[in-house]
Every structure is written in C-alpha cells, then in structure tokens.
Amino acid sequence: MTELEDTTIAASERGRLRKGITDFFASPVAATGFVTLIIICGLALLAPWISPQNPYDLMQLDIMDGRLAPGSESMSGLVYHLGTDSQGRDILSGILYGLRTSLIVGVLSAFAAAIIGTTIGLIAAYRGRRTETIIMRLVDLQLSLPTILMALMMLAILGKGVMNVVIALIIAEWATYARTVRGIALVEREKEYIEAARMLRLPGWRILFRHLLPNCLAPVIVIATMQVARAIGLEATLSFLGLGASVTEPSLGMLISSGYQYLLTGLYWISFFPGIALLITIVAINLVGDRLRDVLNPRSMS
C-alpha cells in the first residue's frame, strides 16, 4: 500500500468519525445524556477533593450526627445538604464516593467481559467445527440462565466482596459478546478482504485481530455501553443484598440498603438520594448507548 492511499484512507476514517460525532449530538436527548455522564464521571473522579467529608474514614464520622435531615448543620458547622445516615455519614459524600465504586465496577466488568467475549466469539467463528460447537453450546448454556442467577452462583462460590462482584459480572456477561461477535464474524469471514488476507498467507491471529476484529467492533461498543449500565445496576442490587461492598465502605446499593430500616419510620433520605444518583447514572448511560446504536447501526444486535 502506498503512502498516498494510506493518508486518504486515514482521512476518510477521520471524516467518518466526525460525521458520527455530529450524528450523535444531533439528538438533544443523547447529548444531554452524554453531558450528564461526563459530569457524573467528573464528580466521581474528583470525589476526594470536592466531597465535604471522607465517608470511609471512620474518624471523621460522628455518631452524634446520625440520621440528620437534609440541610442540617453539624456541631463543627458542616452542612449536610442531603442529610446523614445512621453512622453520621454525610449522604452527599457517600454518594460521590459510591459513584466511584459503581463506575469502576461497571466499566471494569463490562470491558473485561467485552474483551473475553469478543476474543472467544472471534475464535469460534474463525476456527469453526468442533471449537465452534463447544463454544456455542457453552454460550447457549450461559445465556439460558439469568444474569442475577449466574452472579449469585459465582458469589456463592467465591464469597462476598466488590472484586468478586466484578468477577461474577464478567462470568455472567461474556456470552452476550461472544454470540454477537460470532454472528457478525461469520458473515465477515466470507468477504473478499478476508479471502485476500488468507491468500497472502497472513498468520491466523493477524487476520483475526487486524482484519476481522475492527469490522465487528461497532456492536461490541454498543453492547459494552449498555452493559456498563446493567453492571452498575447489578452491583447495586448485589450490594443491597449484602453480597458486595463492605459496611465501612458503602457503595450506592449499600447506602440504600442501610437506609431501608429507617425508611419505615419516615427517614427517607438515606435511601432516596443514593437511588436518585444511581437512576441518573443508569439513564444517562442508556441514553448514550441507545444513540450509539442508532449512529453505528450495527447489522445484528442481540
């Protein structure tokens, strides 16, 4: 390939990217979702500097400040804008720190599952025959069980904890990618450019990752985005059930769970505000994902 062709291809790639970005922001709803998501990520990233207190530092918590209503002032003059939980933890700080856990768990598990699932799907499509049959049977088996059951099964085996939740989510979600990628790769495999690459006697891994993979990426990106939202929701659910984060370092689900008993006596804020934060995050990611799907227009979606 000459240098000239290289640059024109790069230029057209850039043009496509620019068009994609313009398309994406043509939808005000998606743009709002995107901006919201950026703000949430920023807040989570800056949590140690902007939150009024460190909610994980037990030294900073004063049990005397427990269960204060939103807007209350503590002895030391700190205003609890969203109230405090039973430990005297500022809910706002708890949310900011909790968002960190949620986002890390969501992104980590979705991307790890994407990498694993995509690789397995590609291998299944490329190798075919026995390998494919075995992999696809495994995928079918996996997909016939609901995610929460898989996650519960993994947590029952691995034990509680945030890292185990990430592992459980990866194991529960990889199959979706594998199936989608295999579906696309089967179509792509028959096309001329792969045939040409085979003629050139390029090594198998090179065809897989340099030729087949880039053409399967669009749906993977869409699924991964949606999966981040799902994973965040599931992490919160598992934490709510007491299988995720520890009591001293509550994630959003844990905060909501700890507020439950107080909810019955009318102290709504411990559960209410973290739930709103969770909801906004999930909706924002879903809006972005929805739009991405429209813009990238993947040929097959599961």
Partner 1 sequence: MVTSIIRRLMQALFVILAMTVIVFIGVSVIGNPVDILINPDANQAERARVIAHYGLDQPLWKQYLLFLQGLLRGDFGDSFVYGRPALGLILERLPATLELAITALVIALVFGLPLGLYAGLYPGRISSRIIMSGSVLGFSLPTFWVGLMLVMVFSVELGWLPTNGRGPTLALFGVEWSFLTWEGMRHLILPAFNLALFKTSLILRLVRAGVQEVLPQDYVKFARAKGLRESRIIAVHVLKNLMIPVVTIIGLEFGSLIAFSVVTESIFAWPGMGKLIIDSINLLDRPVIVAYLMMMVLLFVVLNFIIDVCYTILDPRIRLDAKA
Q: Does 25 bind partner 1 (CB under 8 A)?
A: no
**Residue closer to partner 1 (CB basis): 96 or 256:** 256
Size of the chain, expressed as the number of residues it contains: 302
The 8-class DSSP code of residue 210 comes to: I
**Residue closer to partner 1 (CB basis): 175 or 208:** 175
CB 139, min distance to partner 1, A? 12
The alpha-helical segments, DSSP class H, found in the chain are 3-25, 28-45, 47-50, 91-127, 129-144, 147-158, 162-189, 192-199, 204-206, 217-240, 252-263, 269-296
How many whole angstroms separate alpha carbon 93 and alpha carbon 274? 10
**The binder of partner 1 chosen from 184, 212, 236, 292 (CB under 8 A):** 236
**The binder of partner 1 chosen from 78, 108, 158, 221 (CB under 8 A):** 158
Instruction: Say if CB 50 and CB 34 are below 8 A apart.
Output: no
The 8-class DSSP code of residue 90 comes to: B
Extract the tokens encoding 215.
Answer: 């053409």
CA end-to-end span of the chain: 36
Instruction: Say if CB 154 and CB 95 are below 8 A apart.
Output: no
Q: Does 145 bind partner 1 (CB under 8 A)?
A: yes
Q: Does 123 bind partner 1 (CB under 8 A)?
A: no
CB 86, min distance to partner 1, A? 16
How many whole angstroms separate alpha carbon 47 and alpha carbon 258? 21
Size of the site for partner 1 (CB under 8 A): 40
CB 71, min distance to partner 1, A? 19
| The one segment of 36-44, 48-56, 200-208, 279-287 that binds partner 1 by CB under 8 A | 279-287
Task: Give bridge partners of residue 16 from the DSSP assignment.
Answer: none
| The one segment of 82-90, 145-153, 175-183, 184-192 that binds partner 1 by CB under 8 A | 145-153
Q: Does 240 bind partner 1 (CB under 8 A)?
A: yes
CB 182, min distance to partner 1, A? 12
Q: Is 38 exposed, middle or buried (0-12, 13-18, 19+ CB in 10 A)?
A: exposed
CB 148, min distance to partner 1, A? 5
C-beta neighbour count of 42 within 10 angstroms: 11
**Residue closer to partner 1 (CB basis): 64 or 264:** 264
Binding site for partner 1 (CB under 8 A): 141, 144-146, 148-149, 152-160, 229, 233, 236-237, 240-243, 253, 256, 259-260, 263-266, 268, 271-272, 275, 278-279, 282-283, 286
